[in-house]
Amino acid sequence: MSTPNPILTGIACRCPRCGKGRLFSGYLQLAPSCPQCGLDYDFADSGDGPAVFVIFLVAPVVIILALIVGASFTIPPWMHLVLWIPTTLILSLALLPPFKGVLVNVQYRHDAHEGHQ
């Protein structure tokens, strides 16, 4: 049995070993184990990594969009708030689970563990 691609299974929020079982039991809450293959998800600790990567992706996208809109249209400052605050929230919340899934899958693939001295 070949190991599934950690990027694709992570984006799909699937088990890193079988690629079929659900990775999450809630929005960002990892399931205790894979319902398909039984892999225990205790190894997984993505920390703040997903949030950092989402910030690094969403912030430039929203800034570039705001600059394009500001250069193309004359809108009042409050309209920028109405446009970009919800856009930032929606993009951030939509991207967090796939980013966490990718980090957990890559962590499994590379057998990464917390450093010990």
| pLDDT tens digits along 4-47 | 999 999 999 999 999 999 999 999 999 999 999 999 999 888 88
Show the CA angle centred on residue 15, arms to residues 43 and 104, nearest 5°: 45
Full-model pTM:
0.87
pLDDT single digits (tens) 92-112: 999 999 999 999 999 999 888
Question: Tell me, what's the pLDDT at 116?
Answer: 54
User: Rounded mean pLDDT of 71-84?
Assistant: 95
Whole-Å CA distances, 6 to 29, 43, 48, 63:
19, 15, 19, 30
What are the contacts of 80-88 at 24+ separation with CB within 8 A? 87/62, 88/58, 88/59, 88/62
